[in-house]
Amino acid sequence: MPKSRSYKLVAEPADLPSEADQAHRFEKARSAQATALLEDYAELISDLIGTEGEARPTDIARRLGVSHATAIKSIARLKREGLATSKLYRGVFLTPAGEMLARRVRARHRLVVDLLVAVGVPQEAAEVDAEGIEHHVSEETLRAFAKYLGRA
Amino acid sequence: MPKSRSYKLVAEPADLPSEADQAHRFEKARSAQATALLEDYAELISDLIGTEGEARPTDIARRLGVSHATAIKSIARLKREGLATSKLYRGVFLTPAGEMLARRVRARHRLVVDLLVAVGVPQEAAEVDAEGIEHHVSEETLRAFAKYLGRA
DNA sequence: CCCGATTTGTAGCCACGGCTACAATTAAGG
DNA sequence: CCTTAATTGTAGCCGTGGCTACAAATCGGG
């Protein structure tokens, strides 16, 4: 029985998922979006520490294309979430949890770029699109990507 | 010459894109995210009108998994952006611009799902992930997908 | 060692997109 | 036709993630 509008007798159209399924999908997308920023910061901080030896708020801000104030506020959120640490006027560091997240994110990012390239997307477009796409790729999809790329 | 920290003599590490490039990618991802909500609403409204004959705020809200108040506020934004129209206590309709957007979004959504399935992602995972991924797929990448699927 | 530039941090603003609570309107049934 | 349920709309709150402007600390060169 339909959840509402019981006077409507037509069946659920085949080309639309059930209300519950559809709502569930959107909720997933929203929750993925909520963690996207944390993931981007974690990966970037890890990269900067790896290549520059340190991750400084202004560098982070420049790389993300935001003001330093925005970066500092986001770093504060990372600290609240237990992913990063920093002392006043010192650089930013990742906690073990932050490092783990960074590693996962970096691996996922590479897989996404590689898959895009493998199906014929030009390198630069793949890099750009992957930056947004990666946050919405589930573990299951990731496994499929790895398998497709022969890294199962 | 580096934009800052001129005392640093090491070259830009090869595994990180230039600051400008990276910032540009993140900006792209952010702007895509900003339009994602409008795209989801436009597609859903179009679907509902097509299958149910009308698009009512509560149905929209249920399908998106948000409160009706949230849906109504978002519909107001669609109206501000010239994508939808509605009169008090009547259903929601799309403007020609809204319809165009909906068509583009629907086609893109299908292409993304089909590509995911084609590379081995299970149907349901493809549907879920596509909901978040689709907003970040550029025209160029879309063309590559179509070509890969033999629909060039 | 101090002065000025750079970096870091803080304060406060805004729009967005969630929410609950309440008001108004419409629609259905007796 | 009137009452009640459902729907629609409004008000106001919250956290997020942008921003600018200003303050504080650090760092490098003279």
DSSP annotation string for A67-105: -HHHHHHHHHHHHHTTSEEE-TTS-EEE-HHHHHHHHHH
pLDDT reading at A58 higher than 50? yes
Q: For B119, which of A29, A52, A144 is closest by C-beta distance?
A: A144
- Residue B13 touches partner A, C-beta closer than 8 Å: yes
Distance in Å, alpha carbon of A139 to nearest chain B alpha carbon: 9
Task: Please state which of the ranges A18-22, B70-74, B129-133 shows the lowest mean pLDDT.
Answer: A18-22
Q: What is the mean pLDDT of residues A103-108?
A: 96
pLDDT reading at B114 higher than 60? yes
Q: What is the mean pLDDT of residues A98-102?
A: 97
CB pairs A-B closer than 8 Å: 144
pLDDT reading at A5 higher than 60? no
Q: What is the mean pLDDT of residues B44-65?
A: 96
Residue-averaged pLDDT of chain B: 91
Q: What is the pLDDT of residue B151?
A: 79
For residues B133 and B121, the answer to whether their CB atoms sit within 8 Å is no
State both tokens at B71. 């849906």
- Residue A64 touches partner B, C-beta closer than 8 Å: yes
Which amino acid type is present at position B29? A
Q: What is the mean pLDDT of residues A72-92?
A: 95
Q: How confident is the model at residue B15 (pLDDT cuts 50, 70, 90)?
A: confident
Q: What pairing do the DSSP bridges indicate for beta strands A84-86 and B92-94?
A: unpaired
Q: Which nucleotides of C are covered by protein (CB under 7 A)?
A: 6-12, 16-21, 25-29
pLDDT reading at B5 higher than 50? no
pLDDT reading at A42 higher than 80? yes
User: Chain A: residue nearest B113 by CA?
Assistant: A141
Q: What is the pLDDT of residue A16?
A: 85
Residue-averaged pLDDT of chain A: 91
Please provide the DSSP assignment of A29-82 as one string: HHHHHHHHHHHHHHHHHHHHHHHHS---HHHHHHHHTS-HHHHHHHHHHHHHTT
- Residue A110 touches partner B, C-beta closer than 8 Å: no
pLDDT reading at B80 higher than 80? yes
Q: How confident is the model at residue A15 (pLDDT cuts 50, 70, 90)?
A: confident
CA distance B11 to B6: 11
